[in-house]
Amino acid sequence: MATIYDVAKRARVSTYTVSAVLNRSAYVSPELTERVHKAVLELDYTINDLARSLQTRRTRTAGMLIPDIASPFYAKVVRGVEDRLKQASYTLLLGSTYNLPEEQARYTAVFRSKQVDGLLVFLSAGGEEDARRLVESGKPVVFVGRVPRSFDADTVAADNALGTRLAIEHLIARGHRRIAIVTGHLQLSTGADRVSAWKRALARHRLPRPAAYAGEGDWTAESGYRLALQFFKLKEPPDAIFAANFLMMTGILKALKECGLRCPEDVEVVSSDDSEWLDVFDPPVSTVVQPSYEMGQRAADLLLKRIQHPRRGFERVLLKPSLRIRV
């Protein structure tokens, strides 16, 4: 493997000049810059990041934990993170936890062993204690999408209570009176906040909010399907359902089809998390649009600030969702 000394010898310059060209740390004349780049290409030279990290104590890498890359929402958040980190010359390492606390703990250990400079984390249900210890250790970490409920930390999330209120008010305006909700784990802020907002919105209009209308899923299409079938077996089944994410919404639509029910004529469905795919869906599905890409960018910005200023106070950024109506 070629070294910086080999490059310097081939380009007939000092190792300082090679370093200045490759790291853009000082001005080097165009002629010498061209010679260095030519030598790098001929020797197939790659900067030894491990050696550099030992000197700088920075690896210029960040680790990120998401529940499931199959969800369009998480994919957009990751894109926002990656675009922002790339601008700062950072590389992103990614792991999917599938909402399992043991996977969160395993990936956290892996990323720390690789000496990542910081972590971006979508909390797993049951993984808050492990996350608290991570923050207390002083490691730069930003929680994305899901707000820790038992400790303070840097967080970037959407206002899920507002998004739920927008969805329920829309369904009420459409004439629905028996409105159910399918949410994720109630241990997480995203699930708990949505159920609380659902109850408040229905109470404001003096509409029924039986416990049987609040289904706790696990963010998968299978859980949406299962809970929808349970709703349809009730003596008074709901005439509208708000799904807390894209995948659970697809499971609900599958259950509707199997039961011979039409959307929106028999049961109207509104989803959280928008996707371009929904523009060609039949039936059309209105959505609460999460600022997913912006969420990723803001989370990356917050992590970079934490890395540069590890003793600064914690920040909580709450982004506003909007409603996209498809009829």
What pTM was computed for the model? 0.80
The answer to whether 299 touches 79, Cβ cutoff 8 Å, is no
When pLDDT is averaged across residues 300-323 and rounded to a whole number, the result is 95
**52 — pLDDT class (breaks 50, 70, 90):** low
Average pLDDT over residues 204-214: 95
Q: Assign 22 a pLDDT band (cuts: 50, 70, 90).
A: confident
pLDDT band per the 50, 70, 90 thresholds, residue 84: very high
Task: List, in order of start, the domains of the chain with CATH numbers.
Answer: 4-47 (no CATH), 59-158+292-320 (3.40.50.2300), 160-289 (3.40.50.2300)
Q: What is the per-residue pLDDT for 54?
A: 42
Q: Yes or no: say if 64 and 145 are a contact pair by the CB < 8 Å rule.
A: no
Range with lowest mean pLDDT among 56-60, 186-190, 254-258, 314-318: 56-60
> What percent of the chain lies above the pLDDT cut of 90?
76
| pLDDT band (50, 70, 90) for residue 162 | very high
Mean pLDDT of 133-151: 93
pLDDT band at 273, cuts 50/70/90?
A: confident
CA distances from residue 295 to 183, 247, 290 in whole angstroms, order as listed? 20, 19, 9
Q: Model confidence over 53-73: pLDDT tens digits?
A: 445 456 789 999 999 888 889
- Give the closest residue to 270 by CA, choosing from 193, 196, 173: 173
Question: Helices then strands (H, E): number in the chain?
Answer: 12, 12
Taking the CA atoms of 319, 320, 321 and 324 in sequence, report the sign of the dihedral they define: negative
Distance of alpha carbon 38 from alpha carbon 40, whole angstroms: 5
Q: Are 156 and 132 in contact (CB under 8 A)?
A: no
Mean pLDDT of the chain: 91
Please state at what angle helix 72-87 crosses helix 292-308, rounded to 10 degrees: 40
How far is Cα 271 from Cα 230, in angstroms, rounded to an integer?
A: 18
Count the residues in the chain: 327
Cβ partners under 8 Å of residue 75, min gap 6? 69
Least confident of 14-28, 225-239, 259-273: 14-28
Distances (CA, A) of 130 to 113, 121, 125, 267: 16, 12, 11, 41
Cα gap 231→237, rounded to integer Å: 6
What gap in Å lies between CA 27 and CA 224, rounded to an integer?
59
The pLDDT > 70 percentage for the chain reads 96
Whether residue 49 has pLDDT greater than 70: no
Q: Per-residue pLDDT averaged across 67-84, rounded?
A: 92
Q: What is the mean pLDDT of residues 289-297?
A: 96
Read off the pLDDT of residues 235-253 as tens digits, 9 standing for 90 and up.
Answer: 999 999 999 999 999 999 9
Q: What is the rounded CA–CA span in Å between residue 278 and residue 41?
A: 46
pLDDT band, very low/low/confident/very high, at 25 (cuts 50, 70, 90): confident
